Structure 1
Amino acid sequence: MLPTRLTDNMLVHISSNNEVLSMFRQTPAGDGVWDGVRFVAEDPDLQADWFIGFDETARDCKTKVPLERRILFLTEPPTIKYYPRHFLKQFGHLVCSVVPSTAEGPATISSCGLPWMYGLYQKPVPMPWQRLVAGSQVAKTGEISVVCSTKKMNLNQHRRLRFLGMLKEALGDRLTFFGRGSNPIEDKSDAINSFRYHLVLENNLIDNGWTEKLADPILGGAFPIVSGGENLAEYFDPAGFRLIDTRKPRAAVEAVLKILDEDPFPSAQVAMADNKRRLMMQHQFFPIAVNVIRTLEAQEAVAPVQLETPAAFRTAAKPKWKKIASVPRPLRPVLRDLYLTVAERG
């Protein structure tokens, strides 16, 4: 039996261990309403029809929404974050790029729509929907930029730093670095608006695992050169981006040089504009969440009533056995560098 409340009156409580109100600028009126569904960051009266956890729930979060109506967006893949079984069992449905081994219930395989960083820290207020649609009017005087941290939490973060060193040696001043510890910026738009090309180096190379690293240059009108999952064409017009494989660093450097020499930026404007439309209207958190909810309701796979007693969530802390079994932290960079040196020299 479908719920008695109409879809256009639906209330969805979204909770996260990170601040979520800034995500509401990704809705046309900036109010958290998408296609007749209202999202709220707090639900003090426990009246929500659906509950969504984004990575993890906020501390002391409670809900009366039954298990079948709780959705968890796993914003990190297994190589970055461990989600224990006891935590996942508190949700009736998962949205994730990769289903973790600890999951037992149904899941939707998809990009998780991580919040955009482009324009988020602009002064005096974050860039709203209307300005995001309009796009930047800054002249594209720079050739190629990249924003990259020095994090080495997983193998691919080691891989991308090795590749960047090789690319910088090949391009010199043609490549502009931005990031913490080297040419810091206040807002991601500062590293995108004045450049024709932007290098996107995802934390992982998994299908469906693209993040705000790709969304930001799409919003800012820079042509993305992407090291990431191979199925991006399922989301975006491939005429509006190029893929490179940093597992073969020398070949990847040559690929970037060839792209810059061919200069597809002028001829790719129609595809880039369409990819921006797809991003804003289809492949971000709010339309993804609404589509998942409506799909579940159409399947009549949800409970139509609310619980009598509010449920409190257990955290996703890593169990002690997992910590004991893991490779000691000081050894991880050494082993990853050794692997890259031996196995990925092409």
Structure 2
Amino acid sequence: MRSWQKWFLIAALTLFAFAGVPQTPYAAAADGNASFAPASLNELKDGTRLYERIWPFVADNLELSDEEAEAVTAENVYEVDLGNYPKGYTRQFISFIYNYEWIELVLVATNEDATKIVLLDRAASSETGDMFLNTAKLDFSTEDNRLYVWTQMPFRAFESIVELEWAGDRFYVVSHEYDDPTANYYMEKADLLKAKDLDGLIELASLDYPMYPGAYEESYTLAAPTLKLAHQKALQAHKAKDNKKAAAYLEYGLEQYSEAFGTWDYAEGKLIKEDIVGFADAFDADFRLTLGAYVGILNDYGYFLSLTGQNKKAKPVLANVVKLVPSRTVAYLNLADVEWALGQRSAAKSHYKIYWNQLGSKASSVAPKRVQERINSK
């Protein structure tokens, strides 16, 4: 089986099959050309003339409505060479036709100028189910008397992979299977999350990116647990004095959360409250972290960045923290330390003072010595 290209789009479509195809392949020798490259009629010199002769014949035999017939153009009819021609016929053409209920593969044979046409077979389903899911996301190839077809549902990663054999009397199913790479991705992600394997989760994200994530509930339900696990592992790394790993863990978690809820502006420090908590009547409201929980993680991320010397990167993150939750006392200390390291002493002094004032009577016993020293410095 060939590897099938993936297409990017999102939502679900269920199709009812019109015609079944036998599962057991018929052992017949093909007289087709293995190197023949399928081509749509609009790529052929005589394509327009062929289309004008072939398509009315197909539309009439399939009893298509005018609207259904008009949807198929010369671009959607392909010349192929699957061999096993009827006597007196030298060319073969296929098309995938959607009649608003199912998608059907049609194979016809013609003589050289298509003045003689015969319908060879129609196929839509196997014992597995509908073979063709979408005409917009469809790829096919041929080899000898075999036809390989990949299709994918609109707005979803669910796909159908079919291998058919043309045996001269009809199509036979060699294989037909369904797959859903995105569903598989989220199943693996859920297993890794359950095992608390953050390194495995990071590796998974580096190897693959799910198609149409917004069409899958797991995109939302797994986002907050992933960020929480990343935070837990980051705190452990910080305790072990590996702040670089701590920052990397939180960056992974924040990115994963952003993919679900669109909080991409966390790095630029441009988040507002609604970006984080969403809206009460939104479908994803129950899957989000609270403002306090998210901002606490964001503060730790900025802090870990500062501990690894990434002060320019840390400043907008920490400035966003105090803007989102002005009562978060420790964030002013973290922000002031970063500004001090960047040489922004006036801003640093201002934030040290806010930190000191918010501590109140506990300031002299709780605040690090550097706070008063820097506030009083000239």
TM-score range relative to shorter protein = under 0.3
TM-score by length of 1: 0.19
TM-score by length of 2: 0.18
Would you tell me which structure has more helix in proportion to its own residues?
Answer: 2
